[in-house]
Amino acid sequence: MKIVVGVPVYNGSSFIRINAENFLRVGFDHIVYLDDGSTDGSYGMLKWYAKKYPNVHLIKNKVNSTLNSGQNKWQTVIEYCRTLNPDWLMVRAIDQEFSAPAFKDREDLLRKRLEQMSETKNNVICFPVVHLWRSPWWYRIDRDWGYAASNHVSNSCWRASIKWSYDSISKAGMHLGHHLPAIDKSDYIAAPANDPSMRVDGILPLVVLHYGMYSHELIARKLESQIIFADKSVLRAGLPKVHDLPNAASWHNLNGYKIVYEKDIKFEKVHQLWHDFPVPIVPPPVVDHQSIYKTLLKYNKSAAEDYRKCYQF
């Protein structure tokens, strides 16, 4: 059984080592990185891994695909992965890693789970994603951000024989162009979180840890890049600029960044089961409203003031 993972990368230098070292241990037969016109040195870092490890492949877009309406980086990396003739195919983001028990020198839960799937007629398996938020030791459990395994394709592994694909036109969003594949809903299966046999002491050990917003700085950076690329996308479609929209409600609709819900965020500590090293005892994170306010202020004073009034600072 051959498992191949594709990872599009745009200016992801701060996460490349975390991702690459983890994926090399998880047990993928091949890892395909697509540098999507990065300007922060990501390509050089990825080139080092590709040169050192024969199962690491590197391809490159000269121009960021979000600026090119005829290209989607997720589709590009999938097409390359398919040339490696995998049995199972996965796409992950550069700011993610698998929890410790999935490592090849541990229980190899990823391969074990896919071997179980190979004996069924199901084509898609979904994995729970733990969204670390303003801390590497706490994660969101409110709304759809929690430790949950919803049937969401971006958290899935697919039989390579299924001819699914991404939209051809890149659109702005938190991951700058990530879209759901066109696939029949009947191909989804219940997520592994619902399987008692896959739990240890009530906790599912095989999860994906998402580091994309585990610091105040990353959240502000994500928001800023999201606004900039959303502007380029909507302008191309002949729509008003994102920061010309009238109020704060417009901002939280930007693909997952729920500004107006900040005060409702609920946290849980990460589980020791997910790490090979001791999880420290640290207080829950505090929302840094000032950093978000300053980012908003660069683009729309009215939206920034709506945000400030919402949190009364």
Rounded CA gap, 88 and 238, in Å?
39
Closest CA to 190 of 128, 145, 234, 274: 128
More confidently predicted of 172 and 220: 220
Q: Do 147 and 210 meet the contact criterion of CB atoms below 8 Å apart?
A: no
Q: Find the radius of gyration of the CA atoms of the chain.
A: 20
Confidence of residue 114 (pLDDT cuts 50, 70, 90): confident
Q: Do 270 and 138 meet the contact criterion of CB atoms below 8 Å apart?
A: yes
Rounded CA gap, 40 and 221, in Å?
14
Closest CA to 6 of 71, 96, 119, 70: 96
Q: What is the mean pLDDT of residues 98-110?
A: 84
Q: What is the mean pLDDT of residues 156-163?
A: 81
Closest CA to 132 of 213, 229, 248, 249: 213
Please state which architecture CATH assigns to domain 3-211.
Alpha-Beta Complex (3.90)
Q: What integer pLDDT is reported at residue 141 of this predicted model?
A: 83
Length of the chain: 313
More confidently predicted of 76 and 44: 44
Q: Is residue 176's pLDDT more than 50? A: no
Residues 6+ apart with CB under 8 A from 175: 93
Confidence of residue 195 (pLDDT cuts 50, 70, 90): low
What stretch(es) of the chain map to CATH 3.90.550.10? Answer: 3-211
**Whole-prediction pTM:** 0.83
Q: Is residue 160's pLDDT more than 80? A: yes
Residue type, 220: A
Burial of 3 (0-12, 13-18, 19+ CB in 10 A): buried
Rounded CA gap, 237 and 188, in Å?
32
Residue type, 258: K
Rounded CA gap, 22 and 24, in Å?
5
Residue type, 219: I
β-partners of residue 210 are 96, 131
Q: What are phi and psi of 253, to 5 degrees?
A: -80, -5
Cα 215 to its chain centre, rounded Å, is 15
Q: Is residue 51's pLDDT more than 80? A: yes
Rounded CA gap, 298 and 176, in Å?
20
More confidently predicted of 261 and 111: 111
Rounded CA gap, 34 and 71, in Å?
13
Q: Is residue 151's pLDDT more than 50? A: no
Cα 293 to its chain centre, rounded Å, is 24
Where is mean pLDDT largest: 29-43, 150-164, 215-229, 257-271?
29-43
